[in-house]
Amino acid sequence: MTKPPKRRAPGSAPRLLKEKVKKKRGLKASSRRWIERQINDPYVHRARADGFRSRAAYKLIEIDDKHHLLAPGQRVVDLGAAPGGWCQVAARRTGSTDERPTVVGIDYLDMDPVPGAIILKKDFLDDDAPDKLIETLGGAPDVVLSDMAAPTTGHRRTDHLRTMHLVEIAADFALAVLKPGGHFLAKTFQGGTEGDLLERLKKGFRSVHHVKPPASREESVELYLLAKDFKGRDGNRE
């Protein structure tokens, strides 16, 4: 007797058939595995269907759906914005438009324009970058986002330290410019955020913890450091 096909639960995503990439001369095994992962990744397929530039957009969407960072009318800074997925999400959720942009992204990599966002082609580590961001934004941000990660060297400890350096610089920026009640979200890696950074954030924000959205691959060591509800500071920039 033939068994009836299993029914898919309402609202669940269809399961993709796994595709294999044939071995080719000159194609490294690591490159072949990356290609296979991309073509079999449901988030990659969703990003294409939804018009997002990268699957990383869903990391921000999932974090925001749960923790409520973005709201209409907010000013948002996106550090390490390329290729633009987070700027797209931020612009859509804040209602930022080309006529009245409230989202500014920065990256030293080339990027296509993002509707509703201003993109600065500049290294955030440049001395004048923080002031340029606030000048372009037109005031203090409600949210600072950072998906920055240092280019990998292949040495895990070195890569971790270099990315943590970027997290610390992004956190310093957030503490210096955020409006009271604002939020900070930054990519970090498993292995621990440095204790002194956590202490500074806990003094500055009412809630600080790590999150890992479903869109972040299980095998990935990335986490996101989420600091909510900035307490403010003396001489706050309005």
Residues marked active site are found at 187
DSSP 8-state secondary structure symbol assigned to residue 181: T
Helix (H, G, I), strand (E, B) or coil at 88: helix
DSSP 8-state secondary structure symbol assigned to residue 216: S
Paired with 7 in beta bridges are none
Helix runs in 110-155, H state only: 129-137
Which residues have CB under 8 Å from 124's CB, separation 6+?
A: 79, 80, 106, 107, 108, 148, 169, 170, 173
Helix (H, G, I), strand (E, B) or coil at 163: helix
